[in-house]
């Protein structure tokens, strides 16, 4: 069914100072509906305050003849631009497509570059070994849907900072492939599982897409032995028990990694 184009986007303006204080989308008489709002919302309070002075809010349509999809997108654009001074409760549709406010001072994954810089928890044990990762150029996690999904969140080109629990950061590199079941991964021209791995348990649940180990190949930029892991106590460096975590909001950690490994991570992000 062809979408109709009978939607519009409107604005409420305070006549006392000509400030826009509410944006919305609708059709028909929707733009006037807020005049009868007697809730305790910031919008209703603003309208009441205007009326107390003997005035009425100025209501203007600012875009017309739109599909609902386009009206929602225009509304969200206006909310993003002027969001901090508005009385809208919701941030609007498509919020995930817009950059969060107060982040213009930093580079964000997906906005300023396609790939990201991520913390990666090695989680050494029965199924994972740092020496294998360095020798054969990969990282992995799995043996459960939660850990599989964490690996599937990585993208080719992402930068990873590998962390070993109770030791510190042991390497930085960029991913050269998306994660996939270990049985499908080839290293140096042959199946990864046919290489001489230190971890004998990497083939556990090999035939299960939910439970097998998931592997992404890596080109390491810098690595160190676990005995020389990079760490600084009480410095606010970010760590977590999660397999994968964005470092977008961790400038101190990125600065520490760049200094410790003598590399500019931003140079490797596309």
Least confident of 3-12, 124-133, 157-166, 254-263: 3-12
Is residue 111, in this structure, part of any structural domain at all?
A: no
Q: Is the pLDDT of residue 92 over 60?
A: no
Q: Are residues 194 and 144 in the same domain?
A: yes
pLDDT band at 94 (very low <50, low <70, confident <90, very high): low
Q: Are residues 161 and 247 in the same domain?
A: yes
**The pLDDT value given to residue 83:** 67
Range of the domain at 82: 7-97
What's the pLDDT tens digit per position in 228-252?
Answer: 999 998 888 999 999 999 998 898 9
Same domain? For 208 and 261 the reply is: yes
- Mean pLDDT in the chain? 89
For the segment 200-228, the average pLDDT, to the nearest whole number, is 95
- Tokens 């609708």: give the residue: 26
Q: Is 229 in the same domain as 138?
A: yes
Domain annotation covers residue 126: yes
Q: Domain boundary residue among 67, 97, 127?
A: 97
Say if 106 falls within a structural domain: no
Average pLDDT over residues 138-166: 95
Cα–Cα distances in angstroms (integers) from residue 262 to residues 36, 81, 173, 206, 255, in the given order:
62, 38, 13, 38, 10
The pLDDT score that the predictor gives to residue 234 is 82
CATH at 58: 3.40.1440
Whether 109 maps to a domain, the answer reads: no
Position 44 pLDDT exceeds 80: yes
212 with 152: CB under 8 angstroms?
A: no
One domain, residues 90 and 183? no
pTM: predicted TM-score of the whole model, two decimal places? 0.63
The answer to whether residue 107 is domain-embedded is no
The whole-number pLDDT of residue 164 equals: 97
Together in a domain, 20 and 134: no
Mean pLDDT of 44-49: 95
Give Cα 228 distance to the centre of its chain: 31
Number of domains in the chain: 2
């Amino acid at each position: 069914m062809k979408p109709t184009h009978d939607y519009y986007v409107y604005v409420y303006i305070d006549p006392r100072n000509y400030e826009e204080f509410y944006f919305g989308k609708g059709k028909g008489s929707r733009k006037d509906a807020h005049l009868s709002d007697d809730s305790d919302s910031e919008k209703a309070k603003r309208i009441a305050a205007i009326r107390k002075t003997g005035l009425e809010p100025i209501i203007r349509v600012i875009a017309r003849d739109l599909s609902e999809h386009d009206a929602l997108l225009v509304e969200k654009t206006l909310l993003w631009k002027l969001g901090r001074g508005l009385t809208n409760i919701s941030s609007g549709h498509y919020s995930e497509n817009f950059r969060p406010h107060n982040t213009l001072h930093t580079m964000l994954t997906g906005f300023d570059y396609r790939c990201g810089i991520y913390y990666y928890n090695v989680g050494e044990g029965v199924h994972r070994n740092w020496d294998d990762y360095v020798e054969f150029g990969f990282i992995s996690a799995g043996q459960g849907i939660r850990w599989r999904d964490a690996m599937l969140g990585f993208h080719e080109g992402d930068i990873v900072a590998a962390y070993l629990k109770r030791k510190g950061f042991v390497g930085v590199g960029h991913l050269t492939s998306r994660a996939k079941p270990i049985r499908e991964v080839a290293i140096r021209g042959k199946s990864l599982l046919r290489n001489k791995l230190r971890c004998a348990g990497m083939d556990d649940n090999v035939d299960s897409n939910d439970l097998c180990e998931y592997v992404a190949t890596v080109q390491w930029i810098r690595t160190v032995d676990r005995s020389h892991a990079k760490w600084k106590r009480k410095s606010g460096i970010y760590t977590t028990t999660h397999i994968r975590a964005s470092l977008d909001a961790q400038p101190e950690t990125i600065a520490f990694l760049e200094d410790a490994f003598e590399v500019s991570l931003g140079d490797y992000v596309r």
